[in-house]
Structure formats: structure tokens, C-alpha cells
């Protein structure tokens, strides 16, 4: 089980292995006031609110419940110098300082089920020369970390053979390439297009044209220098890599994944080209 630190707004920050301790600590001038404390949605984090005032620590030996990967936020208001120890193997140790203006906030997650303790290591003689006083240590909380909620099973992709564009480019597949908000756009029988807020994806299926004025022939797309190596089908770059065209069984298939708005051709980036090929990889075997 690992403790994963996200943020700590405080004066002193040290990470010590389990069982390690320091006989004394010199406290320097406090840093600038911490940045505003995190405020995640209440349903998404667990809060441990610690107050140290006039020698009294609240809460003491309380129990909290979290799930693996869920943010745990510790917020400390204090009028004395102490250390806060989280966990044991390894132990995260944080110096808390009353001179800081406002609460000191720690946020961390635990990556596996188990039990995590929060313990206040009391000190005296601060700020000039701090001495630990273990007899005054207080167990603040025990955090019971349960398993993370099960993730929903991804929607299975259709593997049925077809040559109808909107049967090849299913809604589930469109969401993979253009985002969860995609909407199918009106189109003819030979093309299927989905558009989201930032991306679009389209597939077209047509008979392989013989007319020399057809774009694929006019621009001499189907030639060896345009062929895409390393794929198991006959594929070519069209229009400076703005889309992929595939020749199969007398059909011309075209695949395009693009940004909204579409970038100028000179700005087409390598990963977009790779996504056109990845889209073709999933559809070409199903064309029948």
C-alpha cells in the first residue's frame, strides 16, 4: 500500500521512513502564507479537520472511511509546534507551525485497501529548539481504506461484417475517437460522420471510382509513394495526410479524425495521422 502525496501547504515538509525519528528540530522563520486550501466536491474526498488549541487536540482517535484512490484532505488549525505523521510504511511526516496564517492543508491518496493512521507527534521548547515528547503523542484518526468502486464495463464494439458506413462507425466507436459528447450528423448513404465539441470522426464507403476527375484519381492518390507501410490492408495517404483511404474488394474507404475547427494541413500532427490509421484498423476487417 502506498501513500501518494498530492499537496501540502505548510512550513516544513519532510518524508521519513517508518520508525525513523529526530531528537530535535530547529524551527526557522515561517514561509509565506499558504495558498488557498483545496475545495474538491464533498462527494469526492474525505476530510480530517484537526484543531490544536490550548493543549487540546480535536478529534482524538476518530475513525474515517475512504476508498482506494479517493483524495483524503487533512486540514490543521494549530497554536503549537508539532509534527503530523501519516501511515507507517513508509511514514509521511509534516511539520505544523502556529505562525502560518490560516490552516495547513495536506491532500493525499492511498492506492490500495488497508488502514492508515494519523498521529500527532508532540513537541516542546519550540521555536528555538524543539524536543519531541513522545509521552504526549496523540492518535488523531484511523482511516479505513476500502476497495475502489468497480468501473463500468466498456460498451462492446460491433464486429458484424457490413459495408454500410454508419454500421461500421458505431456510436461506441465514434465516442472513442471524438469524445463522449459526439452527435451523428445528417449525411448520405455513403458517409457517416460524428461531431463533438472538439473533434469529429467520419467514414465513407464508395465504389472505387474509374472517372479520372474523381479526387482520388485526379490527385493520383493510389500510387506507391503514398502507400502506408506496416498495415495489413491497401492504404494510402490522401491530401497531405489529412485522411486515410483504403482500397478493398472494389471499394474505396476513407477515414478521417479531425479537430474542430480543423487545423490547416501544414499543422496536422503525427498523432492525428496515427488515429486515422487506428480507426481504419478497427473498421477495415469488418468491411464485407
Q: Supply the range of the domain harboring residue 100.
A: 3-146
- The two beta strands, 62-67 and 91-96, are unpaired
Minimum mean pLDDT range among 8-12, 16-20, 189-193, 269-273: 16-20
- Alpha helix ranges (H) inside the chain: 165-168, 171-178, 215-218, 270-283
184 and 86 inside one domain: no
* Alpha carbon distance, N-terminus to C-terminus of the chain: 50
140 and 182 inside one domain: no
Residue 226 is predicted with a pLDDT of 85
Residue 275 placed within a domain: yes
Residue 152 placed within a domain: no
Q: What is the CATH number of the domain that holds 203?
A: 3.40.1000
The structural domain count of the chain equals 2
Residues 48-94 pLDDT 10s: 999 999 989 999 899 999 998 888 888 999 999 999 888 876 678 88
Residue 157 placed within a domain: no
CB 58 within 8 A of CB 100: no
Q: What is the CATH number of the domain that holds 52?
A: 2.60.40.420
108 and 211 inside one domain: no
Residue 156 placed within a domain: no
Residues 147-201 pLDDT 10s: 988 766 655 656 667 989 999 999 999 998 888 889 999 888 999 999 988 888 9
9 and 86 inside one domain: yes
End residue of a domain, out of 146, 179, 214 = 146
184 and 261 inside one domain: yes
Does 122 score more than 70 pLDDT?
A: yes
Helix (H) or strand (E) holding 57, with range, is strand 56-58
Instruction: Give the chain's length.
Output: 288
Per-residue pLDDT band for 1 (boundaries 50, 70, 90) equals low
106 and 22 inside one domain: yes
133 and 239 inside one domain: no
44 and 75 inside one domain: yes
Residue 181 placed within a domain: yes
Amino acid at each position: 500500500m502506498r501513500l501518494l502525496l498530492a499537496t501540502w501547504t505548510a512550513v516544513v515538509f519532510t518524508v521519513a521512513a517508518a520508525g525513523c525519528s529526530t531528537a530535535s528540530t530547529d524551527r526557522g522563520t515561517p514561509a509565506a502564507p499558504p495558498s488557498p486550501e483545496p475545495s474538491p466536491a464533498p462527494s469526492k474526498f474525505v476530510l480530517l479537520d484537526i484543531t490544536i488549541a490550548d493543549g487540546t487536540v480535536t478529534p482524538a482517535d476518530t475513525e474515517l472511511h475512504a476508498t482506494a484512490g479517493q483524495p483524503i484532505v487533512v486540514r490543521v488549525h494549530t497554536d503549537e509546534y508539532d509534527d503530523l505523521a501519516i501511515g507507517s510504511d513508509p511514514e509521511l511526516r509534516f511539520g505544523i507551525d502556529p505562525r502560518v496564517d490560516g490552516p495547513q492543508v495536506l491532500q493525499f491518496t492511498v492506492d490500495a485497501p488497508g488502514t492508515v493512521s494519523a498521529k500527532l507527534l508532540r513537541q516542546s521548547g519550540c521555536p528555538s529548539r524543539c524536543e519531541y515528547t513522545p509521552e504526549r503523542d496523540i492518535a488523531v484518526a484511523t482511516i479505513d481504506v476500502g476497495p475502489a468502486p468497480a468501473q463500468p464495463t466498456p460498451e462492446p464494439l460491433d464486429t458484424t461484417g457490413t459495408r454500410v458506413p454508419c454500421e461500421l462507425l458505431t456510436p461506441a466507436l465514434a465516442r472513442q475517437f471524438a469524445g463522449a459528447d459526439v452527435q451523428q450528423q445528417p449525411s448520405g448513404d455513403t458517409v457517416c460522420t460524428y461531431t463533438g465539441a472538439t473533434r469529429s470522426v467520419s467514414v465513407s464507403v464508395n465504389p472505387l471510382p474509374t472517372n479520372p476527375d474523381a479526387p482520388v484519381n485526379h490527385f493520383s492518390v493510389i500510387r506507391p509513394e503514398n502507400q502506408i507501410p506496416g498495415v495489413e490492408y491497401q492504404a494510402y495517404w490522401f491530401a497531405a495526410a489529412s485522411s486515410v483511404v483504403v482500397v478493398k474488394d472494389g471499394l474505396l474507404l476513407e477515414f478521417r479524425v479531425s479537430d474542430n475547427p480543423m487545423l490547416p494541413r501544414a499543422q496536422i500532427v503525427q498523432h492525428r495521422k496515427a488515429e486515422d490509421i487506428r480507426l481504419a484498423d478497427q473498421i477495415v476487417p469488418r468491411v464485407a
